Homo-oligomer: A and B are copies of this chain.
Amino acid sequence: MVSHFTVIKKDPSSNARLGQLVTPHGVVETPAFMPVGTQGAVKAMLPRDLREMGCQILLGNTYHLYLRPGHELVRELGGLHRFTGWEGPILTDSGGYQVFSLGAMRKITEEGVRFQSHLDGSSHLLTPEKAVEIQESLGSDIAIALDECIPHDAAREYVRASTERTMRWAERCLKARSKNAQLMFGVIQGGIFEDLRRWCAEEMTAAPFDGFAVGGLAVGEGEQLLHMIGAFTAGLLPENLPRYLMGVGRPEDMVNAVRAGYDLFDCVLPTRNARNGTLFTSRGKLSIKRAEFANDPRPLDESCECYCCGNFSRAYLRHLYVAGEILSAQLNSLHNLYFYHQIMKRCREAIREGKADIWTPAPAAGVTP
């Protein structure tokens, strides 16, 4: 049997690897970044523009799509691909992350999570079986087993108990599967405790998952712990299956994680920052609203080949932002996502050429070109 994941090449100087992930809607070359299509749309982006910039795979949010427009409606309309007009691969999360973010509006039991909709306050129960049902209705290429995303400052005893429950939920998710074509990833939790991470990884990797997601990181634990626990956990996962570091992140975090052996990433940062006027460049971040750009005829990033940098000045982008034009969100999102995809492309090239050790992106923090 041909595997859905192939490691094409391994970097000699790190744990980075070049891979190919085969899904029902096409092949993803890894490492790859997945733009977030929260409500069935990557904010301010036409699918054709995503495709054009080299986007290979999108992430859809189970929680949001379940509440609106509803997974059954999406299924009736032919699934999430047909519904959104994105014909490439889609990964859906389990809904867990959003539900756990609801704080006082949710209650965890062994059965699942009872929560109130942020839209209308209505009550819902998200069980492992329900998470699978929703994702099968959405028809994503990769589903994620339901897990609890644990706060970074949770006490050890809570982390232990929660991680154990996540493992029981994972088993229920596997049992609930009815579609063979849809891949399913298990989620490794365990907080900042290496022994709990190891325990969770051992249990999870013994189950027939098609890949593994690492959760509970990039949730406020700080850069050092993120890199440390991230790298430690990657080392616990099988070489022959894809690894997805959930919610990461900043360009330098992603590149670090590529070196640690991760293959897939997602983050709202490029699109959310874009709408706030914060733009990534090869020389660092840039806040386009600043007065100094009012008459700056240069493109955002002189070394960028995106549509935005090829056609518009910083002065124009600042004007659009200040004037509140929708086009501001469009052009900024287009650039930031292009930038993210270029980082992944350069990672893949660096691994292919055996040069992963020498390529480092500019730090994202506070540098103004």
Chain A interface residues (CB < 8 Å from chain B): 39-48, 68-69, 73, 76-78, 83-85, 294-295, 297, 307, 311-313, 315-316, 319-320, 322-323, 325-327, 329-331
The answer on a CB contact under 8 Å between A69 and B330 is no
Chain B residue contacts of A76, Cβ below 8 A: 295
Q: Which residue of B lies closest to A324 (CB)?
A: B39
The answer on a CB contact under 8 Å between A85 and B311 is yes
Q: Which of B45, B68, B83 contacts A322 (CB 8 A)?
A: B68
**Shortest distance in angstroms between A243's beta carbon and chain B's nearest beta carbon?**
31
Sorted from nearest, which 10 A-B pairs have the closest CB atoms?
A85-B311, A44-B326, A41-B327, A39-B323, A69-B319, A41-B325, A85-B312, A83-B316, A77-B315, A326-B329
Chain B residue contacts of A316, Cβ below 8 A: 40, 77, 83-85
The answer on a CB contact under 8 Å between A330 and B85 is no
Chain B residue contacts of A295, Cβ below 8 A: 73, 76-77
18 pairs across A/B with beta carbons < 8 Å?
A39-B320, A39-B323, A40-B319, A40-B323, A41-B325, A43-B325, A43-B326, A43-B327, A44-B330, A46-B307, A48-B311, A68-B323, A69-B294, A77-B316, A78-B297, A83-B316, A84-B316, A85-B311
Chain B residue contacts of A326, Cβ below 8 A: 43-44, 326, 329-330
Chain B residue contacts of A40, Cβ below 8 A: 316, 319-320, 323
Given A42-B327, A48-B307, A83-B315; 13 other pairs, CB 8 A cutoff: A39-B319, A41-B327, A43-B327, A44-B327, A46-B330, A68-B319, A69-B319, A73-B294, A73-B315, A77-B295, A84-B316, A85-B311, A326-B326
Q: State in angstroms the CA–CA spacing of A44 and B307 once bound together.
A: 16
Q: State in angstroms the CA–CA spacing of A115 and B68 once bound together.
A: 47
Known: A46-B330, A329-B326, A330-B326. A41 touches B77 (CB 8 A): no
The answer on a CB contact under 8 Å between B47 and A313 is no
* Copies, count: 2
Known: A69-B315, A319-B69. A39 touches B294 (CB 8 A): no
**Shortest distance in angstroms between A292's beta carbon and chain B's nearest beta carbon?**
14
**Shortest distance in angstroms between A191's beta carbon and chain B's nearest beta carbon?**
33
The answer on a CB contact under 8 Å between A77 and B297 is yes
The answer on a CB contact under 8 Å between A39 and B325 is yes
Chain B residue contacts of A69, Cβ below 8 A: 294, 315, 319, 322
Q: Which residue of B lies closest to A318 (CB)?
A: B69
Q: Which residue of B lies closest to A320 (CB)?
A: B41
Q: State in angstroms the CA–CA spacing of A320 and B73 once bound together.
A: 14
Q: Which of B47, B77, B322, B327 contacts A311 (CB 8 A)?
A: B47
The answer on a CB contact under 8 Å between A45 and B327 is yes
